[in-house]
């Protein structure tokens, strides 16, 4: 995406106002502008917008409302609404919003439009970088977020396992990373769970494997769930449940976005990206409830529900990642409805037994306005995974603590990594918010990138 930033001496000012600062701002306005404000019935409310005219008919300045400091509902991304409100031109912040860096990022993210299938012109606006804000870094993060959004928003007929692999290969080529892909029946021996989930589709499953960076640097491995469409398998979802299942590869999309940030910033890591890319389809050869498969790790898994497929494909990929004992192993996936019931679409839960890592993730999530909430790997619930036929089941009966039991399932496949982080994302914005249009979303990747930057820059 072209940079939203531009240096210009003639940029139009954006003045941020709040209820508590409004009277002081009004005093600085010319008499004619005060009359215009009154005639427009403008009020200093969050999200309110008014372009004040200059004597020559141009825009003298823009007023934009924010929440007061300390407001419980304060949205640091509210300036992301501006690109959809402003006429074409170049703008600058006349005064500081609550967080100038996040406001600039929100402005960039607010310029996103998904235009693959119909015309949707990107707002023709530019922003002079606020003082002290690294525009290159903001562009890096925004470009990665756009990649994740584009991948998730693309419907499954144009974003199957092969297309997801092509996107990953293009990213690898852009940054000189190595790329490998294991496809179809070649998965059956070494990645039986990935093969089982994807074998019913006419579009062959695959395991995408990208490596980048100096082998002597700390090993960071990212694993992303790439279920390009999820029917639920033989435990078929209702039509309402399938409606946005094109987003079920949101973990893969966000892992690729995170990898883009890491490689573009040239962080001092040896990065590996693993994406099991499958379609969970219905056919005569589909895997069935109560089937048993031996995973790559040797753990036998009984299928309690074919709609709990994401943890199956991640299990084999995590087992592969764990074999080389990475310093940090991270997996992202759109995994459980239970996480949405508990925390809603905007607040993904994360899991780790590394207390220092947990504290860093939580801190970076707040700093980046990329919300995450720690949930427990609660040992007593581990027994719920027991199976009478196999080592474990992928879907315990009872329906309690679904996100936690999913995390405990995945933990069985991580043994040697020094630290492991699991994030149960949604990857979707159900209704538009400033800087976050309805549709696919880059979720948790910005917070994790901030953590990796702190540790490995």
pLDDT tens, residue order, the chain (457 aa): 789 999 988 999 999 999 999 999 999 999 999 999 999 999 999 999 999 999 999 999 999 999 998 888 899 999 999 999 999 999 999 999 999 999 999 999 999 999 999 998 899 999 999 999 999 999 999 999 999 999 999 999 999 999 999 999 999 999 999 999 999 999 999 999 999 999 999 999 999 999 999 999 999 999 999 999 999 999 999 999 999 999 999 999 999 999 999 999 999 999 999 999 999 999 999 999 999 999 999 999 999 999 999 999 999 999 999 999 999 999 999 999 999 999 999 999 999 999 999 999 999 999 999 999 999 999 999 999 999 999 999 999 998 999 999 999 999 999 999 999 999 999 999 999 999 999 999 999 999 999 999 999 8
Which of 107, 133, 159 corresponds to the end of one domain? 133
Shared-domain flag, residues 193 and 232: yes
- pLDDT on residue 281: 98
Convert 71-86 to b/e letters by CB count within 10 Å (16 or more is b). eeeebbbbbbbbbeeb
Mark whether 237 is an active-site residue: yes
Question: How would you classify the pairing of strands 292-294 and 59-65?
Answer: unpaired
Rg over alpha carbons for the chain, rounded to the nearest Å, is 24
First and final CA of the chain: distance in angstroms?
A: 24
Is residue 288 in a domain? yes
Is residue 3 in a domain? no
Instruction: Give the number of other Cβ atoms within 10 Å of residue 135's Cβ.
Output: 18
Instruction: Give the number of other Cβ atoms within 10 Å of residue 44's Cβ.
Output: 19
Looking up tokens 């494909």 gives 313
Shared-domain flag, residues 233 and 323: yes
What is the C-alpha to C-alpha distance for residues 163 and 180, in angstroms, rounded to an integer?
14
What is the C-alpha to C-alpha distance for residues 69 and 176, in angstroms, rounded to an integer?
45
Give the CATH number for residue 154: 3.40.630.10
Report the domain count for the chain: 2
What is the C-alpha to C-alpha distance for residues 37 and 216, in angstroms, rounded to an integer?
62
Shared-domain flag, residues 152 and 123: no
| Choice among 19, 34, 237, 268 that is catalytic | 237
Question: How would you classify the pairing of strands 219-224 and 420-424?
Answer: unpaired
Shared-domain flag, residues 127 and 162: no
Calculate the dihedral angle through the C-alpha atoms of 148, 283, 291, 183, rounding to the nearest 10 degrees. Answer: -50
Nearest Cα residue to 390 out of 316, 308, 301, 311: 301
- pLDDT on residue 253: 99
Q: 274: part of which helix (H) or strand (E)?
A: strand 270-280
Which of 133, 148, 169 corresponds to the end of one domain? 133
Is residue 6 in a domain? no
Is residue 37 in a domain? yes
What is the C-alpha to C-alpha distance for residues 143 and 160, in angstroms, rounded to an integer?
22
Shared-domain flag, residues 88 and 160: no
Shared-domain flag, residues 250 and 337: yes
Shared-domain flag, residues 360 and 216: yes
Give the DSSP letter string of 356-400.
HHHHHHHHHHHHTT---EE----GGGGGGGB-SSSSEESS-TT--
Is residue 207 in a domain? yes
Give the CATH number for residue 73: 3.40.220.10
Mark whether 219 is an active-site residue: no
- Residue 394: give the domain boundaries: 140-456
Give Cα 35 distance to the centre of its chain. 45
φ, ψ of residue 271 in degrees (nearest 5): -95, 135
Looking up tokens 């991270």 gives 330
Shared-domain flag, residues 79 and 23: yes
What is the C-alpha to C-alpha distance for residues 89 and 344, in angstroms, rounded to an integer?
37
Shared-domain flag, residues 82 and 215: no
Which of 133, 157, 181 corresponds to the end of one domain? 133
Is residue 2 in a domain? no
Shared-domain flag, residues 192 and 273: yes
- pLDDT on residue 8: 86
Shared-domain flag, residues 261 and 377: yes
Shared-domain flag, residues 114 and 190: no
Is residue 96 in a domain? yes
Looking up tokens 């600085």 gives 28
Is residue 171 in a domain? yes
pTM above 0.95, yes or no: yes
| Choice among 203, 311, 412, 446 that is catalytic | 311
Cβ atoms 372, 444 nearer than 8 A: yes
């Amino acid at each position: 995406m072209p940079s939203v930033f531009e240096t210009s001496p003639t940029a139009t000012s954006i003045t941020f106002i709040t209820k508590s600062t409004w009277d002081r701002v009004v005093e600085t306005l010319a008499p004619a502008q005060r009359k215009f404000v009154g005639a427009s019935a403008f009020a200093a409310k969050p999200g309110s917008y008014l372009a004040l005219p200059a004597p020559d008919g141009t825009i003298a300045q823009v007023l934009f409302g924010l929440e007061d400091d300390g407001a419980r509902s304060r949205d640091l991304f509210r300036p992301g609404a501006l690109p959809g409100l402003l006429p074409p031109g170049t703008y600058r912040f006349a005064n500081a919003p609550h967080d100038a860096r996040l406001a600039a990022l929100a402005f960039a993210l607010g310029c996103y439009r998904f235009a693959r299938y119909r015309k949707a012109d990107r707002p023709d606006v530019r922003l002079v970088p606020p003082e002290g804000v690294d525009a290159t870094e903001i562009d890096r993060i925004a470009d990665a977020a756009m990649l994740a959004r584009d991948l998730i928003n693309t419907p499954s007929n144009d974003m199957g396992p092969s297309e997801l692999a092509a996107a990953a290969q293009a990213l690898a080529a852009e940054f000189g990373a190595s790329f490998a892909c294991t496809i179809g029946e070649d998965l059956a021996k070494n990645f039986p769970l990935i093969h089982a989930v994807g074998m019913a589709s006419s579009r062959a499953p695959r395991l995408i494997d990208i490596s980048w960076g100096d082998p002597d640097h700390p090993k960071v491995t990212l694993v992303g769930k790439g279920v390009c469409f999820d029917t639920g398998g033989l435990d078929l979802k209702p039509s309402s449940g399938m409606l946005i299942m094109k987003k079920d590869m949101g973990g893969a999309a966000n892992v690729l976005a995170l990898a883009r940030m890491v490689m573009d910033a040239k962080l001092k890591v040896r990065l590996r990206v693993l994406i099991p890319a499958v379609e969970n389809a219905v056919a005569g050869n589909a895997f069935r409830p109560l089937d048993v498969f031996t995973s790559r790790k040797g753990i036998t898994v009984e299928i309690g529900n074919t709609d709990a497929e994401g943890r199956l494909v991640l299990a084999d990929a995590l087992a592969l990642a764990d074999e080389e004992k990475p310093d940090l192993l991270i997996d992202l996936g759109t995994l459980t409805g239970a996480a949405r019931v508990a925390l809603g679409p905007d607040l993904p839960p994360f899991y780790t037994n590394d207390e220092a890592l947990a504290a860093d993730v939580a801190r970076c999530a707040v700093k980046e306005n990329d919300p995450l909430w720690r949930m427990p790997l609660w040992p007593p619930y581990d027994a719920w995974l027991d199976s009478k036929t196999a080592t474990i089941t992928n879907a315990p009966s009872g329906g309690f603590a679904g996100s936690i039991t999913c995390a405990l399932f995945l933990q069985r496949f991580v043994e040697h990594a020094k630290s492991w982080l699991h994030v149960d994302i949604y990857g979707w914005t159900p209704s538009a918010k400033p800087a976050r249009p309805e549709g696919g979303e880059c979720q948790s990747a910005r917070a994790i990138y901030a953590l990796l930057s702190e540790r490995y820059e």
